[in-house]
């Protein structure tokens, strides 16, 4: 059944109106209904195809999906090549579409009668740099299949109950008889009318068309713990798709994307910051007020600090989500060499150079001798 095309199955054009689709479906469904063709096994297959095609084309969102992705429900759940579907974490899990599409009969969904846990749903959530580190409360929205409130998820019209399946008399199985040259072969099969459950919905709930579940947007207030980061996945138990026939709901997964900061750089639990200092400050030492996540902190830069020296504020980083405790803030000092000098600065530096025996603004022949000393071959 690869390449299933609901349009050709119903014999309508790609631009068919909902009315034309409905009309084609009614005619073909009547023609191939198993009750009208008890001795033709192929009619049943055709009937199923017609129903499947109608399920796709009668639901605007599913018709759109088919038009966009050529998705037919023939692929196996979890198989690849399904890119783009359900992007952004919204939209439905494959299994659920599979489920709803393969309901059997005229809106009397046998598939729904099987008790089955709802699928998980996953959404993305963007946080600012600070929200991810300190935690926050957020309202998130997700598109899910929720239990239909009108029928409490049973799929049967309010007040009505499921009735015994007329085709299998409630056994869920039917016998097919084939006459072959070897004689009559009797084979038990799952009843196609009730999908083996033995019961059918005679009056489908109009709100969910007998599916027991409806598309809905759920909103939830979520406590985001302090210390989450890009890639952190939070699980909200039971907030995914509703289960069918009283089975538990799936879970909602929230995938975090944490924003960046103008000065701070975060790597896991540690916060990195580069602080510029002057030449004289590096040579003579200085105390600086350095910004941290929790306000300013005093940093003593000792005399004779080289550019690139690293200082650590222990426990001033990001809280650890799992183990407790905090990371560090790592401060790197970088000496800023002035690009332009005022006359006063120039004089001062000339005096400094003279006092330390450095040649400036001319060729310095002493470099070779100094390097020899460094490498111990002077």
- CA atoms of 101 and 6, how far apart (whole Å): 12
Is 150 near Zn ion (CB under 5 A)? yes
Which residue lies nearer to Zn ion by CB, 145 or 168? 168
Is 156 near Zn ion (CB under 5 A)? no
- Please, what is the minimum distance in Å from the beta carbon of residue 112 to Zn ion? 10
Stretch near Zn ion under the rule CB under 5 A, chosen from 202-210, 262-270, 285-293, 368-376 = 202-210
- Please, what is the minimum distance in Å from the beta carbon of residue 7 to Zn ion? 29
- Which one of residues 193, 232, 250, 269 is an interface residue with Zn ion (CB under 5 A)? 193
Is 207 near Zn ion (CB under 5 A)? yes
Lay out the site mask for Zn ion across 168-187 (x = CB under 5 A, - = otherwise). Answer: x-------------------
- Please, what is the minimum distance in Å from the beta carbon of residue 238 to Zn ion? 20
Q: Are strands 329-336 and 270-278 parallel, antiparallel or unpaired?
A: parallel
In Å, the largest CA–CA distance within the chain is 117
Is 163 near Zn ion (CB under 5 A)? no
Stretch near Zn ion under the rule CB under 5 A, chosen from 72-80, 158-166, 279-287, 303-311 = 158-166
- Which one of residues 133, 140, 194, 282 is an interface residue with Zn ion (CB under 5 A)? 194
- Please, what is the minimum distance in Å from the beta carbon of residue 109 to Zn ion? 11
Site for Zn ion in 62-91 (CB under 5 A): none
Q: Which residues contact 41 (CB under 8 A, 6 or more apart)?
A: 176
Is 151 near Zn ion (CB under 5 A)? yes
Is 146 near Zn ion (CB under 5 A)? no
Size of the site for Zn ion (CB under 5 A): 12
Which residue lies nearer to Zn ion by CB, 124 or 167? 167
- Please, what is the minimum distance in Å from the beta carbon of residue 74 to Zn ion? 25
Which residue lies nearer to Zn ion by CB, 111 or 208? 208
3-state secondary structure the chain: CCCCCHHHHHCCCCCCCHHHHHHHHHHHHHHHCCCCCCCCHHHHHHHHHHHHHHHHHCCHHHHHHHHHHCCCCCCCCCCCCCCCCCHHHCCCCHHHHHHHHCCCCCCCCCHHHCCECCCCEEEEEEECHHHHHHCEEEEEEEEEEEECCCCCCCCECCCCCEEECCCCCCCCEEEEEEEECCEEEEEEEECCCCCCCCEEECCECCCCCCCCEEEEEEEEEEEECCCCCCCCEEEECCCCCCCECCCCCCCEEEEEEECCCCCCEEECCEEEEEEEEEHHHHHHCEEEEEEECCEEEEEEECCCCCCCCEEEECCCCCECCCCCCECCEEEEEEEECCCCCCHHHHHHHHHHHHHCCCCCCCCCCHHHHHHHHHCCCC
- Please, what is the minimum distance in Å from the beta carbon of residue 177 to Zn ion? 17
**Number of C-alpha atoms within 13 angstroms, CB side, residue 348?**
7
Which residue lies nearer to Zn ion by CB, 152 or 366? 152
Which residue lies nearer to Zn ion by CB, 24 or 208? 208
Stretch near Zn ion under the rule CB under 5 A, chosen from 30-38, 74-82, 191-199, 223-231 = 191-199
Is 165 near Zn ion (CB under 5 A)? yes
Lay out the site mask for Zn ion across 345-364 (x = CB under 5 A, - = otherwise). Answer: --------------------
Stretch near Zn ion under the rule CB under 5 A, chosen from 94-102, 117-125, 144-152, 288-296 = 144-152
Site of interaction with Zn ion (CB under 5 A): 148, 150-151, 165, 167-168, 191, 193-194, 205, 207-208
């Amino acid at each position: 059944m690869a390449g299933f095309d609901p349009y050709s199955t119903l014999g309508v054009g790609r631009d068919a109106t909902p009315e034309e689709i409905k009309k084609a479906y009614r005619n073909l469904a009547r023609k191939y209904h198993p009750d009208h063709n008890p001795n033709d096994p192929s009619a049943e297959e055709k009937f199923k195809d017609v129903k499947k095609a109608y399920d796709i084309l009668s639901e605007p969102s599913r018709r759109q999906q088919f038009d966009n992705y050529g998705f037919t429900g023939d692929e196996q759940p979890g198989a690849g090549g399904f890119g783009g579907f359900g992007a952004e974490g919204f939209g439905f899990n494959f299994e659920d579409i599979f489920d709803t599409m393969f309901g059997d009969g005229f809106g009397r969904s046998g598939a729904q009668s099987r008790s089955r846990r709802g699928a998980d749903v996953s959404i993305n959530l963007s946080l600012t740099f600070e929200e991810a580190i300190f935690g926050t409360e957020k309202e998130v929205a997700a598109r899910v299949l929720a239990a239909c409130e009108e029928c409490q998820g049973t799929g049967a019209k309010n007040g009505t109950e499921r009735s015994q399946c007329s085709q299998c008399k409630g056994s869920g199985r039917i016998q097919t008889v084939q006459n072959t040259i070897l004689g009559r072969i009797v084979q038990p099969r799952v009843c196609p009318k009730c999908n083996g459950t033995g019961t059918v919905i005679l009056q489908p709930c109009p709100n969910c068309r007998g599916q027991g579940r409806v598309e809905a947007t759920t909103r939830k207030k979520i406590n985001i713990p302090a210390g989450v980061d890009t890639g952190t996945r939070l699980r909200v138990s039971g907030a995914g798709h509703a289960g069918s026939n009283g089975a538990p709901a799936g879970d909602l997964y929230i995938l975090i994307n944490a924003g960046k900061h103008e000065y701070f750089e975060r790597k896991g639990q540690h916060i990195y910051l580069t602080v510029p200092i002057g030449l004289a400050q590096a040579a003579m030492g200085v105390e600086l007020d350095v910004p941290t996540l929790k306000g300013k902190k005093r940093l003593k830069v000792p005399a004779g600090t080289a550019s690139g020296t690293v200082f650590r504020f222990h426990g001033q980083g990001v809280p650890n989500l799992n183990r407790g405790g905090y990371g560090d803030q790592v401060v790197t000092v970088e000496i800023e060499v002035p690009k332009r000098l005022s006359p006063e600065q120039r004089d001062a530096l000339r005096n400094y150079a003279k006092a330390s025996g450095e040649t400036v603004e001319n060729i310095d022949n002493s470099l070779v001798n100094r390097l020899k000393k460094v490498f111990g071959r002077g």
